[in-house]
Structure 1
Amino acid sequence: MSAALTRILRRHWLLALFVLAGLALRIVVQLAYRPALLYIDSFRYLDDVGAFFPGGINPVGYEVFLWPLLAVGSLTFVVVVQHLLGLGLGVGIYVLLRRFRVRPWLAAVAAAPVLLDAYQLQIEQNIMSDLLFQVLLLAVIYVLTWWGAPGPKLAAVAGIVLAAAVTVRVVGLTLVVPAAVFVLLATGWRPKDGWRRRLIASAALVGGFAAGVFGYSLYHLAWTGSFGVGGSGGGALYGRAAVVAHCEQLDLTSQERRVCPAEPLDQRARNGIDFYIHFWNVPENVAKFLPEDMDVAAAQSSLTRKVLLHQPLDVVGGVVEDFFKGFAPTRTQTTGDVPLDRWQFQQTYPMYADDWYVVEWSELYDNGTLSVDPQLAGFLRAYQLGGGYTPGIVLGGALAIAALAVLGVGRAWGSGLRAASLLCAGMATTVLATAAAMEFSWRYQLPGLVLIPLAGALGATALTSRRSVVSGRGNDRGHSRPTPPKESEMPTTCPAEVDRAALDDYSARYGDQRFAPVVVLIAAYNEEESLGDVLDGIPARSCDLDVDTLVVVDGATDRTAEIALKHGAQTCVAPTNRGQGAALRLGYRLAAERGARYIVTTDADGQYDIAELPKLLRPLIDGRADFVTGSRRLGSNERPALIRRIGTYVFAWLVSALTGQRITDTSFGFRGMRAEVPNSVTLEQPQYQSSELLVGVLSHGYRVQEQPMRMLARTAGVSKKGNNLLYGYRYSRVVLGTWWRERRVSAPQCEPINEPAAVGER
């Protein structure tokens, strides 16, 4: 066990360091403030435990969380659980990012804010709902992304979890929008039913969310006589409207005029939104200034609507200003804001009610002692004020990186991470903007410590990755290697009748014979002059593995098939000539279905040096690559035609630019690959198959490696490749067309060929 733990710590040492530091800080916080910190809202939560009355300012979700904890423990126990959940948040962020192949150091850095930020530590020590809200938000992201693109069932579960988050903090109501958009846009469905199923999944998420919120609203109705999820009178935006309302210029009813503040606008700005939400209309003021029978909430709501209608720019301008406050370099407080010191460690116990009242709650749920350790509290305050928090400008930069990834800038387009980046960035922006619509408080920025680093790390990975990093279990070295498809999932181009006839003939000749681990595949058309020498040069073993040769004869009219059989190659004869691409597709499929682990392609004209076969196999066998191709530019070309050499440079540059990986030779025919690789990409080209396969492999995120190799002169015959501008045009069309196709859709699924049972169904 100790050895396994040591390996884990070595592999994830930076996260372990951050978790250890976070644990130490949380222990200090626990010892510094006993039994817990009690804020204004804390008394409301504690008062409602066991009653679960939904008509208060806050919904009852957090009280449900507190109930079992206080039943078996104390206030001290509650904050211990909250601190452990805080550590769990950090680990959860790291694990999720590693699931998406984010580099270990970057994933650890993304987890650092929630592990080490002093404002996060302070809120965890409070009897407050914010930590539980953060946990539920991360749970939603897990449900929507862990298993790939979510289906209707997972989407519905995510909707229900989102609804649970709303019962903890009402600000979560708007989060259904980015979640539904993500489900609608997330990749992973088959093209033939993709949009229909995405729409169904998106509807399932909205339905699950609506069902959860409606259920809570019925509970609210049963208690209060009205639908709702929170009890803030006058609507959530009343405070925002009150500070900007031009009361004299608006056409107000007598009741609306009574709730429109009489103070000058500059005085209202100094009072702040929080004053008008929580203090201006307290019972004493209502009794003093307003009639007893007046419906204050209705008057505030109607005033808010008129202000929004007639002064939209004033309201929106205030919201935008407060939204961007959260991205300031330092923690600062402007006039009218919720006091910042409420979320800072104090060297004396902070009291937000009469001493006797606070002590009573401590006596009810703990030992009645409220204490502060001055030295530990002083350390925490110095840590917090001295930079122990995540600068807003860093969070803003992470959000901007995520936005670039969502827009598909550079390599992000084919990374497979745009949808996940959109989900995290969209949820972060939505929850912060919704909070800003009500009022600005540094407390309301805390969800950003979870969501924004997630979005930034995903965005940075998308922008810098050389290959697709779609969700899946990663390996220890952080490679972006896609999970190999099962044979039943290999989306090859559906076989034509010609293929069926060829396979029937092959099965009649060889029965259920299986291939060696390595198959050298040759597609041959009228190559009787050179094929024999090429076959004689192929070794029986290479890199300690047995080697078989498979020749797919592409409707030849000469003795090519006879030569192949004579020289001992397993031979599959297609009755009709369709092009090298079709012949190779048939060979890829046949080799994979009959047990080959690695496929090597070469030509029948003797232009490739078979002695270089180990160069192709060794990176595959060692697990360093999924696809290895030779390069004449890295090696040599004995007869380089000028136009063809220019074409080699041009198309290498084009493929490199499109795929984000440096390629020097796009059409070298001597290649090695894991057997499932060519069967997992769409292959349609009859002639320009080499570039189609390469671009497809790169687009699917396989690890591609080039090896320097020699290009020899043909031993016989004439090249069937063009040497003019028309050939170049067609070649470029294939490159661009393949890139465009692979970045947009998945390959089509095919029905299995009806072959002998011994061969196996795909």
Structure 2
Amino acid sequence: MPGFLRRHWLLLLLLTGGVTLRVLVWLAYEPALLYIDSFRYLGNLEALRPTDLNPLGYTVVLKLLLSFGGLAFVQAVQHLVGVLLAVSLYALVLRYTSRTWIGALACAPVLLDAYQLQIEALIMSELWFQALLVGALWALLGKGEPTGGRAAVAGVLIGCAVITRTIGFTLVVPMVGYLVLAGGAWRSRAGWRRIAVRGTAGLLGVAVVLLPYSAYFRSQAGYWGLTGATGNVLYGRTATVADCAELPQEDAGLQLFCPDEPRDERPGIDYYTHFVYGDPSWPPEGLPDGRTKEELANQFTLAVVRNQPFDFFGSIAKDFLKNFDSLKRTHPKDVPVERWHFQVTYPYYDIGPDSVERYNAVTYAYDGVLPDSDTDLASFLRGYQLGGGYTWGPLLAAFAMLGLLASVGTGRARASGLRSAAFLATGGGLIILLGAAAFEFSWRYQLPALVLLPLGGALGLAAILGTRSGASGVATERRSGLDEYPDEVDAEAVADFRQRYGDNPLTPLVVVIAAYNEAQGIGAVLRGMPTHVGDVPVSTLVVVDGATDDTAAVAHEAGAYVCVASRNRGQGAALRLGYHLAGESGARYIVTTDADGQYDNNEMPLLVKPLLDDTADFVTGSRRLGSYQHDSAIRWLGVRVFSWIASLLTLRRITDTSFGFRAMKAELAMSVTLREPQYQSSELLLGVMARGARVLEVPMTMRLRNNGTSKKGRSIKYGANYARVMFWTWLREYVFRGGKRAGRAARIS
């Protein structure tokens, strides 16, 4: 762990700042911030109408989150996701370079940008759109040249991004470009076959999401579509630049849609989009012929683009360049930047008659409180934001330039293998900004660039400087904790064991027990151990972890095989030694239990049967599914808290992370990275899940110790260390090593 901290100190510093700021935001605004769009999402939770202005992606996420808690819970989860996004970006960069400071450049904007913090506090879709973008990037860039399967996953994620924010459709272009360029496959005929496979898979992945969604839309609207925002998308843009004299004078419909005001006196795009076209009573005099409002808006847009292409595309380019302004200010006729500023008092936006009452009703319905702000915290956050706590526009431009330079092979980038990766991230960021600018400019629409342009710039910088990585091409972190197996103590203990028992003395099913000064209780545990599970004989291996009492002698007299480590290193070290020794001595299946009599070893058949049936690779008992006695309220709470954290980290429901009665295939136990001398339970569980193992929970019994006191120390200290190990194991296995999402953690009731 000290080595890990030294290597990643800059990330940890940024994480400290990012987490602190998010806690302050969560405390500053109760229960969460609400914008105009928030009420559209909340108002569609039950009906799930695809024809509304906003697509259903975020509405579904919001509905799921609200089933667990209120708006304050949603805000907390969104802040957590923001932190995880930053860590994911950091880890993705380190798969291509060992320069941790470059990884820090990629994640710092997400962690520290005040506009990012504000959008996470809002009941809005932007954060989840960012998360889907990062997921697609990991699918494509996480490990070597993309395969058809990974391209399909990326396509599915992009499809989900589209139904979260329709601007996500623009990402299909850089995805296809990357699938063509990645690995230099385009240079050979065989490579083009690979391109065809993965390109088709990527597009099918997008279609798998969008076609059913569009069919659902058609069932509600009577025509194919993705959102109710159709004809008005570009009407506002063209209305601000249209020269009415250039339109057909005889077409009353097009003339009706052309504003009466001179072009230099017209309001902004937002006005024509939402307050003109978006007004259901406009035009008050009605339409002049049989064309619908949407048809006329589309025809008006096409006519303006055809007659005034330079005005149209020039206005888009002007808005696109605003993203790189040195100051985040409100440009003339644009959406006010104040909408995305932290306010000292709780902000109420105009959502129609009785706006305040509607705000109050919504927050009270979900959280039982009225909207409120802590003025001191809110003032601090506002000062941080207005005082420069955001990503400087020229810095974003620099990131974009680095990504583009690497994409064309500048300097060492030509031979780095990172050109296509830099192109994907940078191209994705730029095309989203350009697509958003085609609609209208808003600082809110810049937020997806915070995860894409810094990543593209970081990859570009790594390419230009030249990568420094291991043979696998992926940067690796320094190891800490236990040395790799076998260390000096392991080797000595194994040699002594083989001298006494031979090379393969154990049965196919071995029970491994780690014991330290357990002479008083281990005899009773061993005498109650089953000799067979079905037709499979059972042998017991006790690893004595540097005990100072007669544990080894008592275990030997009770008929167990005994392996003695010369010094005490912790339960994790003893169990790791036992796993390898059992596997190397003939075991096919390994069961772990404790030496203190807390588990009912007569329940072993239930634990082992899924292994013998080959329906699971790893089976763990669960006191919460079964029954248990406890003598500590803190530990009772800790079991639940850590189960919830592990479930969140692995996206699989886990009810008990620290139950010591477990069964697993021997080769799986030997393959897991185990570095923790203590607090090893969650390291093993998350490790096997990261390898894609089939994990099963079964109900079990847990009793109080039959003697002595627990060696886990004080509950609070133990809990803090347990949380540390769980988090760093997840970071190592899932983030840095790209672990698989394990098969669903099943349960037997």
TM-score (norm 2): 0.61
Q: CA deviation at 1:468?
A: 8.2
Is the partner of 1:50 in helix, strand or coil? Answer: coil
Q: 2:420: which partner in 1?
A: 419
Q: Secondary structure at the match of 2:43?
A: helix
The residue number in structure 1 matching 2:276 is 280
**Number of aligned pairs?**
472
Larger Rg: 1
Q: Which one of 259, 270, 290 corresponds to residue 257 of structure 2?
A: 259
C-alpha change, 1:145 and 1:291, in structure 2 (3 Å) is: same
Partner amino acid, structure 2, of 1:432: L
**What CA deviation, in whole Å up to 9, does each residue of 1:108-166 have, x standing for no partner?**
12211000000000000000000000000000000001121112121112111100000
Q: Which moved further from structure 2: 302-311 or 208-217?
A: 208-217
Q: Secondary structure at the match of 1:187?
A: helix
Aligned counterpart for 2:77 among listed residues 81, 86, 101: 81
1:155 and 2:156 aligned: no
1:533-563 superposed Cα distances (whole Å, 9 cap, x missing partner): xxxxxxxxxxxxxxxxxxxxxxxxxxxxxxx
Secondary structure class of the residue paired with 2:183: coil
Deviations 1:191-217 (A, max 9, x none): 562111112211221222133222211
Q: How does 1:517-528 map to 2 (within 5 A)?
A: none
Whole-angstrom distance in 1 between the partners of 2:103 and 2:190: 35
CA deviations 1:84-110 (Å, max 9, x no partner) are 000001100000000111510121122
Structure 2 distance, partners of 1:404, 1:251, is 46
* Letter aligned with residue 398 of structure 2: G
Structure 1 residue 387, shift from structure 2 partner: 0.5
Tell me if the contact between 2:156 and 2:208 (Cα under 8 Å) persists in the aligned partners.
Answer: yes
Q: Distance in 2 between matches of 1:305 and 1:210?
A: 27
**1:10 aligns to 2:6 (yes or no):** yes
Q: 1:466 to 1:56 in 2, by over 3 A?
A: closer
SS in 2 for 1:228: coil
Contact conserved, 1:425 with 1:452, CA < 8 A, in 2? Answer: yes
Report the aligned-residue RMSD: 1.9
Q: State the distance in 2 between where 1:104 and 1:375 align.
A: 36
- Tell me, yes or no, if the aligned pair for 2:50 and 2:217 is still in contact at 8 Å: yes
Structure 1 distance, partners of 2:258, 2:281, is 13
Residue 287 of structure 1, CA deviation: 5.8
What's 2:559 paired with?
none
Report the Cα offset of residue 286 of structure 1.
Answer: 1.3
Q: Match of 1:245, as an amino acid? A: A
Instruction: Give the Å deviation of 1:278.
Output: 0.8
TM-score normalised to structure 1 length = 0.60
Check 1:369–1:311 CA distance in 2 against 1; reply closer, same or farther (3 A cut): same
* 1: CA distance, partners of 2:442 / 2:339: 10
SS of 1:283 mapped into structure 2:
coil
Structure 1: which 5+ runs fail to align?
A: 479-762
Q: How does 1:639-650 map to 2 (within 5 A)?
A: none
Distance verdict in 2 for CA 1:226–1:433, change over 3 Å? same
> In the aligned structure 2, how far is the partner of 1:199 from the partner of 1:391?
40
| 1:128 alignment partner, SS class | coil
Aligned with 2:42 (options 46, 51, 54)? 46
Contact 2:110/2:116 (8 A) holds in 1: yes
State the distance in 2 between where 1:216 and 1:471 align. Answer: 40
Instruction: Work out whether 1:452 is the aligned partner of 2:453.
Output: yes
Instruction: Give 3-state SS (helix, strand or coil) of 1:387's partner.
Output: coil
Answer yes or no: is 1:229 the counterpart of 2:230: no
8 Å CA contact 1:151–1:198 kept in 2: the answer is no
Partner of 1:462: 463
2:320 and 2:230 mapped to 1: Cα distance? 23
Is contact 2:416-2:466 (8 Å) kept?
yes
Residue 361 of structure 2 is matched in structure 1 by 360
- Structure 2: gaps (5+ residues): 480-749
- In the TM superposition, what are the counterparts of 1:289-304 in structure 2 within 5 Å? 289-291=285-287, 295-304=292-301
Alignment check: 8 A CA contact 2:232 2:278 kept: no
- Whole-angstrom distance in 2 between the partners of 1:37 and 1:466: 43
Amino acid in the other structure paired with 1:103: R
Matched, 1:186 2:178: no
How many angstroms apart in 2 are the aligned matches of 1:289 and 1:115?
A: 51
Q: Which residue does the alignment assign to 1:552?
A: none
Cα distance in structure 2, aligned partners of 1:99 and 1:401: 18
8 Å Cα contact 1:417-1:470 kept in structure 2: no
Q: Is the 8 A contact 2:156 2:209 kept in 1?
A: yes
State how far apart, in whole Å, the 1-side matches of 2:111 and 2:91 are: 14
Q: Partners in 1 of 2:427 and 2:325 — Cα distance?
A: 20
Quote the Cα distance in structure 1 between the aligned partners of 2:277 and 2:137: 39
1:255-304 C-alpha deviation (Å, 9 max, x unpaired): 22222211111122xx1101111111343641624349862111111100
**Secondary structure of the structure 2 residue equivalent to 1:460:** helix
1:265-664 equivalences in 2 (<5 Å) = 265-268=263-266, 271-283=267-279, 285-286=281-282, 288-291=284-287, 295-352=292-349, 353=351, 354-465=355-466, 472-476=473-477
Write the deviation string for residues 587-641 of structure 1: whole angstroms up to 9, x where unpaired: xxxxxxxxxxxxxxxxxxxxxxxxxxxxxxxxxxxxxxxxxxxxxxxxxxxxxxx
- Quote the residue 1:644 is aligned against: none
From 166, 180, 204, give the equivalent of 1:170.
166
In the alignment, what sits opposite 2:560? none
Q: Distance in 2 between matches of 1:68 and 1:122?
A: 22
Would the alpha carbon gap of residues 468 and 9 (structure 1) be closer, same or farther in structure 2, given more than 3 Å must change?
closer
Query: 1:235: how far off?
Result: 4.4
Tell me: CA distance 1:65–1:410, structure 2 relative to 1, closer, same or farther (3 Å). same
